[in-house]
Structure 1
Amino acid sequence: MRRITRITTVGIASAALALSVTACGGNSSDAGSGSDGDKAAIAYDIGGRGDQSFNDAAYAGLAKAEKDLDIQGSEAEPSDGEGDADKVQRLTELARSGNNPVIGVGFAYAPAIKKVAPKFPKTTFGIIDDASVTGENIANIVFNEEQGSYLAGVAAAKVSKSKTVGFIGGVETPLIKKFEAGFIQGVKDTDASVNVLPQYLTQPPDFGGFSKPDLGKAAAQGQLDKKADVIYSAAGLAGSGAIEAVSKAGKWNIGVDSDQYQQKGLAPYKASILTSVTKDIEDAVFNLIKSVKDGKPETGEIRYGLDKNGVALSMSNPAFADMKDVIAAVDKAKQEIIDGKITVKTAP
């Protein structure tokens, strides 16, 4: 029997009790112990499950592990306006309940994992998109987002008719700047005459730019008004608003993290999603869970780039798959990046 228990910061103590009562495959652990890999948990980033992007990709990895590895999965949702103390409490309860590994989805979990991981030395903690916090029981799952974004820039420059394309970042952080940097470089290397309009929805410490579709929609409309005919959004749930606006304008979207052409929540707009810069978060999560279950837990930096298909451009939209000249340009750029002939910038 496998079960998913959803935990939020509000009422987390009672949720932890529920876990210990309903869980199949282990009792709550003390601070020095971990499960044998029969229970695994993911703690979501801003926007939570249902963002049609980053968090949903992590969930897919957990769901795959439940099916293929016969593990019991738990999910923990973020709360509005939460701080590091809330994340510390969430990760502590997940570890104390016997989950192993416990995976924080997003760099925002770094301070919490730094505090919690040493208290549970037999539990593996994974963190996606952060390599700053390290430890013997910490797995840093990171991606070369700039490489996939470069390919998106190549595609955008090739299909743009107005010679103007847009980039929307959810929050102006070093991680999202990697998306911007790669995209702009790919555009300019392909056609220097194409103008790129970069825009961020919020600035730290306001991370609402990852969770508010209305902000994405307004930003996209502003770029459409400036004649952008291809818009690449790296904004989590907020990106869905941009996708809606671009679709209604009859222009091209480039999605992010998941293959957004395939996301059910975006089905009304799928025809406008030319391609997506995918990160293989699903397999990264699954691989970490499997490593723990196999008794050989992954730790340290685990990097996914173009060379391992850890980042890529999706080909689900038949319209994109039929653009032979665009695909040829993308394939050429991909090979040159892998061969080291092109070095992609990580900052604009």
Structure 2
Amino acid sequence: MRAIRLLLAGAVLVVATGCGGGGGTATEGAPMADVMRIGLAYDIGGRGDKSFNDAAGRGLDEAKQNLGHLLEVKEVAAVPGETEAQKAERLRSMAEDGCNPVIAVGYAYSGAMRKVAPRYPHTRFAIVDDPLASGPNISNLLFAEEQGSFLVGAAAAMRTRTGQVGFVGGVESALVKKFEVGYRQGVRFVNPKITVRVKYLTRPPDLTGFDDPAGAMRAARKMYDAGADVVYQAAGGSGAGVFEAAAKAGSWAIGVDSDQAATAAPAVRDHILTSMVKRVDVAVYDYIAGLLDGTDKSGPVIYDLKLGGVDYSTTGGHINDIQPRLEELKQQIIIGKIKVSSR
């Protein structure tokens, strides 16, 4: 489990900002030059979304602190409503500026990655959450979201008193469906009689569902009003609206990607039962470390429960009584006794 081992490294790092100068060649399995220039292209919301993008940012911060290497960093975020051409230009600009690697956070960069990466064969690229962009200089950092979602679904089923729970997805994409599908399986495993209400805010190509807290709040309020008492959100920056709805209803919400009970507004934290933690930070850190020591590989790497890529959070102590059972389920998934489907 190289990802976990590397996160415990304790070297000293000198950090500079901005990607400048020309980038050297970067072939698979070859250590990088003494100075690594990293370009990190965030999805909508960028740093400060208290969810997906922040998780990627933490991985970069860990690398700055622990990897004992001179890093130059350029971080740029997507904006709502931008075109694929704008995303491609962001990646191209980073490559032209000498950033090597260029890391794209989110499947929304898939088309842009497929256009840009082949034009810069000596630059290493990585994309989080997308298996479609492929090539000799592209690494795909993927996750078993369905496994982590199974566990928080089980937690929701153990905690509900009404026999009704909910799921709010930001965008009805193949990726977000994995969260819903895993959640449903976890709920059903504990109690197949529980009703699961589902609402997506938008469908592709409209990605604004990840940046619509008001819409998420309305969707969650309808679920709470209809009798649900636990709602899981996989909605990026929109998730804050679900937390607000949970607080107003005096009910539970479940966070996603990061330990959101530790980062959400103080007024709503006590209503976050748990979060499905997706360790984008581990994947980003591990990828950078692999480039530095020459062990990186092109193609997909899947971070599952066994690799520590997904998990659930315990902040707030709200699941202390059911945690032993959740740990049992977790181990059964790891050893293959429980099979969790992604579809």
* Aligned-partner SS, 1:94: helix
CA contact (8 A) 1:3 1:73 kept: yes
Question: What's the counterpart of residue 338 of structure 1?
Answer: 334
Residue 268 of structure 1, CA deviation: 2.6
TM-score (norm 1): 0.89
Residue 291 of structure 1, CA deviation: 1.6
Residue 267 of structure 1, CA deviation: 2.9
RMSD (Å), alpha carbons: 1.7
Residues 152-167 of structure 1 aligned to structure 2 (within 5 Å) = 152-167=152-167
CA contact (8 A) 1:4 1:73 kept: yes
* Aligned-partner SS, 1:170: strand
Residue 345 of structure 1, CA deviation: 2.0
Question: What's the counterpart of residue 126 of structure 2?
Answer: 126
Question: What's the counterpart of residue 266 of structure 1?
Answer: 265
CA contact (8 A) 1:233 1:242 kept: yes
* Aligned-partner SS, 2:318: helix
CA distance in 2, matches of 1:209, 1:73: 29
Question: What's the counterpart of residue 3 of structure 2?
Answer: none
Gaps of 5+ in 1: 6-18, 21-26
CA distance in 2, matches of 1:104, 1:89: 12
Question: What's the counterpart of residue 304 of structure 2?
Answer: 305
Q: What code does the residue aligned with 2:257 have?
A: D
CA distance in 2, matches of 1:80, 1:178: 23
CA distance in 2, matches of 1:259, 1:232: 13
Residues 1-348 of structure 1 aligned to structure 2 (within 5 Å) = 2-5=15-18, 19-20=19-20, 27-29=21-23, 36=33, 38-69=36-67, 70-263=70-263, 265-320=264-319, 322-323=320-321, 326-347=322-343
CA distance in 1, matches of 2:230, 2:55: 24
* Aligned-partner SS, 1:278: strand
CA distance in 2, matches of 1:81, 1:107: 15
Gaps of 5+ in 2: 1-13
Q: What code does the residue aligned with 1:301 have?
A: P
CA contact (8 A) 2:164 2:195 kept: yes
Q: CA 1:221–1:3 in 2, change beyond 3 Å: closer, same or farther?
A: farther
CA distance in 1, matches of 2:114, 2:120: 11
CA distance in 2, matches of 1:238, 1:173: 15
* Aligned-partner SS, 1:253: strand
CA distance in 2, matches of 1:336, 1:214: 38
CA distance in 2, matches of 1:301, 1:266: 35
CA distance in 1, matches of 2:341, 2:63: 34
CA contact (8 A) 2:145 2:278 kept: yes
Q: What code does the residue aligned with 2:329 have?
A: A
Q: What code does the residue aligned with 1:203 have?
A: R
CA distance in 1, matches of 2:266, 2:142: 29
* Aligned-partner SS, 1:296: coil
Aligned-residue sequence identity (percent) comes to 42
CA distance in 2, matches of 1:114, 1:246: 40
